[in-house]
Amino acid sequence: MQSAAAGFERIGLFGIGSLLPTSEAFGLVERWPRTFERLARADRAIAGWTAGFSDHYLMILRKSAA
């Protein structure tokens, strides 16, 4: 990872979908939309803490000034 981000400074790392089911569970989402809406809100609230164990994450980088 170090070489892939050479010349960049990490600004943020956020977990994505830590509390949400996989896309195969789409039928459940349609059946209980408010439940999954709450899960999505909670997922956004804890995204900064879940990057270490999430299957997917968002990394925000800034090009170094050097």
- In order, the DSSP letters of the chain are -TTTTTTEEEEEEEEESSSSPPGGGHHHHHHSHHHHHHHHHHHHHTTTT-TTT-SEEEEEEEE---
Position 1 scores a pLDDT of 46
Q: Is residue 40 part of a domain?
A: yes
Position 22 scores a pLDDT of 82
pLDDT at residue 61 greater than cutoff 50: yes
48-62 mean pLDDT: 88
Q: Which residues pair with 15 in a beta bridge?
A: 57
Return d(Cα 23, Cα 18) in angstroms, integer.
13
Q: How many domains does the chain fold into?
A: 1
For 24-50, the pLDDT digits (tens) are 877 888 899 999 999 999 999 999 998
What is the domain extent for residue 13?
Answer: 8-63
Q: Is residue 37 part of a domain?
A: yes
Position 5 scores a pLDDT of 72
Please classify residue 57 by burial: count the beta carbons closer than 10 Å to its beta carbon, then call 0-12 exposed, 13-18 middle and 19+ buried: middle
Q: Is residue 1 part of a domain?
A: no
